[in-house]
Amino acid sequence: MSDDPSPQSLAGRLLIAMPSISEGQLAHAVVFVCVHTPDGAMGIQLNRPIREPSFETLLKQLDIAPVPPARHIRLMSGGPVDHSRGFVLHSADWTAETSMRVDAAHALTASLDVLKAIAGGGGPERGFLALGYTGWGAGQLDTELREGAWLEAPADEALMFGDDHESKWRRALGKLRIDPGRLQPTVGHA
């Protein structure tokens, strides 16, 4: 029997990449954790907008009417894993049978139902379409947290759905009262 307590789920929380993650798509990443269990974790990155394809072009490719849509949502890179999969991270004011509730305020929908609703002028009040996701295997995220690769913070609507992507990493650190200029690129051990 292990003396380690079981890790508490971070679903509904933010992960903020530390400077030790200095290369690739996760450098300066802000990730909203959607699932965190002993089997692994999955999240959607909040600060990597993509310009192509456009929402309208994507709807045409998926044969979703109407085109042009009654509403648009932003497209984001959700992380380095499987860019062929799409997930709409959205406010929980709208859900479908296929939606997964992350917490009381947020849901994740990976079916076309949400895109059809948005194109028709309905759907959730807030949201964006993420192509790809950020994923961790069993125990991997917990190890990275212990090693200081990530900080965790409460989520808020401005960081989740705001348009100022360039400053999200700094603003997320600011929620923890951390000055990014004082962070060291490597983690020391005593």
Domain segments of the chain as ranges: 13-182
Beta bridge partners of 14: 32, 153
Sign of the torsion formed by the C-alpha atoms of 131, 95, 136 and 183: positive
Closest residue by Cα to residue 86 from 120, 47, 119, 114: 114
Tell me the Cα Rg of the chain: 17
Residuewise pLDDT in 10s, the chain (190 residues): 334 444 689 999 999 999 888 888 899 999 999 999 999 999 999 999 999 999 999 999 999 999 899 999 999 999 999 999 999 999 999 999 999 999 999 999 999 999 999 999 999 999 999 999 999 999 999 999 999 999 999 999 999 999 999 999 999 999 999 877 777 665 544 4
Query: What whole-number distance in Å separates Cα of residue 136 and Cα of residue 53?
Result: 27
Domain range 13-182, CATH architecture = 3-Layer(aba) Sandwich (3.40)
